[in-house]
Amino acid sequence: MQVQTGQQSSLPAADPASAAHSEIVAGCLRSRIASAGGSISFAEFMQLALYAPGLGYYVAGSRKFGADGDFVTAPEVSPLFGRVLGAQCAPILGEIPGADILELGAGSGALAVQILSKLQELAALPERYRILEPSAELQSRQKSRVAELPEDLARRVEWITDWPANLVGIVLANEVADALPFARFVKRQDTVNELCVTSAGSGFDWCERIAPTRLAEAVRNIEKDIGSRLPDGYVSEVCLALPQWIADLADCVDRGMLFLFDYGLSRREYYAAERDQGWLRCHFRQRAHDNPLILPGIQDLTAWVDFSAVAEAAVKRGMQVSGYVTQAHFLLHGGLQDELDNFSELQIREQVDLSRQIKILTLPGEMGENFKCLGLAKNLTDTPAVFELSDRAHIL
């Protein structure tokens, strides 16, 4: 996601309709907190704020993506992202007879449109482009977007409601892992406490309780893995849902390749001693800040991804790591240059626009370095060429 970083005090005010919606979501959260005896885990708070039926951020109708939404994702920044990814999909689709594409969490549908258009140009279209999208509201947006495609492309897209069985082909997930609800914890000497949320006046506040066994064990495993104890007072996150999500995904693939893009790090980087407030980020009207307890239901809540955890869960389920590269590397070595063949023939205005888009997608201070692509394969012989240089999988 591409946004400005700001202080909570500098956030723009919510418009009256959004503020009214947020009040309703806050009421729902307060009832749940009351019925749970006074507090709920942050993971449950996040699950409800983002996905409560009819109310949550991803489920109700707020704008979310794009310049007039809360954040901009790579396919929203530029069609170049999907076109390069499409070019990388083409040889894999050629290698596997009858291969499909499955996109997880397709947002506005922009990536699907970009990839299908590129694959049509390369005469490498899959028979089916499937989308697994839990939000009915986003599904309907995706359907409108796909309906604008030529009939031969649009007819290939279908929406599914559960993991498909025996999938053969390519799975794509851009900025989905960061949207899975995660637990927050704080170390208190040798004890792991879970950060929970309680009601406070018309808002919410943090409270702590001894972490449940699963969370405490996850933190102990992280400490074992990085070879040191996290210090007293250290706050961070663990996405307990992530290993199961990856396991479900790996189990449904018979043969194919997963390209997972997100902002994230190796476990050692993620749990570095100096990163003692974790990697949680909230997005509201193109501003990033760190208070998830405000604006419930109308702001996005995310955390960076522990890519070591993703790789570990996938390998446990029989997948191999094909490569782990920065988004800049993926684009620059994956065919971005080919997309610019006619650059000199474009109008100045278009050249300026394209240059701006490329900068956002690839510069280290923008999306180039923080965003990574992890490639995971099952029963494939060839590693995509894009992973052959500068692969950083060894740090996971």
Phi, psi dihedral angles at 130 (to 5 degrees)? -100, 150
Asked if residue 330 binds ligand SAM (CB under 6 A), the reply is no
Asked if residue 194 binds ligand SAM (CB under 6 A), the reply is no
Nearer to ligand SAM, 107 or 323 (CB): 107
Q: Shortest distance, CB of residue 228 to ligand SAM, whole angstroms?
A: 32
Contact between 386 and 323 (Cβ < 8 Å): yes
Cα(31)–Cα(77) distance, integer angstroms: 39
Give me the DSSP letters along 201-215: TTEEEEEEEEPPHHH
Q: 205 is written with which tokens?
A: 């506040």
Specify the amino acid at residue 195.
L
* C-alpha closest to that of 305 among 373, 233, 219, 364: 373
Q: Which of 175, 194, 262, 339 binds ligand SAM (CB under 6 A)?
A: 175
Beta strands (DSSP E) in 201-327 are 203-210, 235-238, 253-265, 280-284, 287-289, 300-303, 305-306, 320-326
Q: Shortest distance, CB of residue 214 to ligand SAM, whole angstroms?
A: 19
Binding mask 118-137 for ligand SAM (x = CB under 6 A): --------------xxxx--
Position with the least CB separation from ligand SAM: 105
Q: Shortest distance, CB of residue 60 to ligand SAM, whole angstroms?
A: 12
Asked if residue 77 binds ligand SAM (CB under 6 A), the reply is no
Which residues does residue 265 pair with via DSSP β-bridges, in sequence order?
Answer: 306
Asked if residue 81 binds ligand SAM (CB under 6 A), the reply is no
Cα(270)–Cα(370) distance, integer angstroms: 12
Q: Which of 73, 78, 199, 322 binds ligand SAM (CB under 6 A)?
A: 73
Asked if residue 107 binds ligand SAM (CB under 6 A), the reply is yes
Asked if residue 368 binds ligand SAM (CB under 6 A), the reply is no
Asked if residue 80 binds ligand SAM (CB under 6 A), the reply is no
Q: How far is CA 378 from CA 25, 154, 166, 227, 245, in A?
A: 41, 28, 12, 30, 16
Q: Which of 40, 62, 69, 75 binds ligand SAM (CB under 6 A)?
A: 75
Q: Which of 29, 89, 176, 310 binds ligand SAM (CB under 6 A)?
A: 176
Cα(378)–Cα(315) distance, integer angstroms: 10
Binding mask 209-238 for ligand SAM (x = CB under 6 A): ------------------------------
List interacting residues with ligand SAM (CB under 6 A).
Answer: 58, 65, 73, 75-76, 104-107, 111, 132-135, 138, 174-176, 179
